[in-house]
Amino acid sequence: MILKDMGQTERAMTLLQLQEEVSRKAGDSVNLEKALTHRAHILKDRGDLDTALQLLCETERLSRARGDWDGIQNALGNQALVYSRMGRNERALELHAKEEAICRETGNLDDLQACVGNQAALLAALGRWDDAQRLFEEKRAICQTIHQKRGLGSAYQGIGNVYLHRGWLHEAMTAFAHAEALARETTRCDLLVDSLCMQASCSAERDRRGLSPARSSGRLWL
């Protein structure tokens, strides 16, 4: 996907369609699935969500035909992301739950941390803060276990957002600071910007309330 990363999506789509055609003729379901998945990601980014979903449903069927459980859970997770973009969050959560069950069964911890993180973000968007916090904390624990620093940064950012919603400013600031440090270490510009912005929001809210920077609710679980 070098061309896609370079912004040459039309050229990338042309080559992926050629890969799809060749793979179909050869009966190569593995490379066919790869081509369809990459095409679906480009289409999702373009906003063609219905077509992206159709391709991802086909990748699920291909994985099921091969008995490829990693492929199945990846397809389910990708479908969930499309449904989330459609605003169908409950359907997205259903598919993420199926993805999660497969990850736990197969012991795929890296994909599990991504899956529970995606669920946590959806739950936060739905205002289900207790469930969101529980899953963000599980994501953090998994990432610490497998030394997945990029995912760990996202986990701290999510935890910080939950703390901020609860009004725990000192705890939120600490979590966002962890996210910032990990963003710098892993060169994640998106997370770095978000973590800095949220620390600024915490500082502004703390000043508005007239709170001391060191004041804490005693609920810091980092």
- Computed over every residue of the chain, the mean pLDDT equals 92
DSSP string of the chain, one letter each residue: -HHHHTT-HHHHHHHHHHHHHHHHHHT-HHHHHHHHHHHHHHHHHHT-HHHHHHHHHHHHHHHHHHT-HHHHHHHHHHHHHHHHHTT-HHHHHHHHHHHHHHHHHHT-HHHHHHHHHHHHHHHHHTT-HHHHHHHHHHHHHHHHHHT-HHHHHHHHHHHHHHHHHHT-HHHHHHHHHHHHHHHHHHT-HHHHHHHHHHHHHHHHHHHHHT--TT---S----
pLDDT of residue 214: 55
Angle of helix 129-146 versus helix 109-125 axis, rounded to 10: 160
Give dist(CA 176, CA 196) in Å, integer: 7
Q: What is the mean pLDDT of residues 99-104?
A: 98
More confident residue, 216 or 17: 17
User: How large is the average pLDDT for residues 112-139?
Assistant: 97
Domain boundaries, the chain: 1-107, 120-222
| pLDDT score of 207 | 87
Average pLDDT over residues 149-177: 97
> What tokens does 109 get?
């911890």
Q: Are 182 and 194 in contact (CB under 8 A)?
A: no
Please tell us whether the domain made up of 120-222 is placed in CATH 1.25.40.10: yes
pLDDT, mean of residues 45-49: 95
CATH 1.25.40.10 corresponds to the domain 1-107: yes
Residue-wise pLDDT for 103-122, tens only, equals 999 999 999 999 999 999 99
Percent of all residues in the chain with a pLDDT value above 70, rounded to a whole number: 91
Contact in structure between 70 and 62 (CB atoms under 8 Å):
no
Distance CA 23, CA 29 (A): 7
Helices 69-85 & 29-46, crossing angle to 10 degrees? 10
Residue 210: its pLDDT value, please? 80
Residue 215 has a pLDDT of: 52
C-alpha 213 chain-centroid distance: 31
Q: What is the pLDDT of residues 137-148, one digit of tens each?
A: 999 999 999 999
**Residue, of 203 and 8, whose pLDDT is higher:** 203
Supply the pLDDT for residue 218: 45
Buried residues in 188-200 as b, exposed as e (16+ CB within 10 A): beebbebbeebbe
Asked whether this chain's domains 1-107 and 120-222 adopt the same fold, the reply is yes
Give pTM, 2 decimals: 0.86
**Distance separating alpha carbons of residues 79 and 58, to the nearest angstrom:** 11
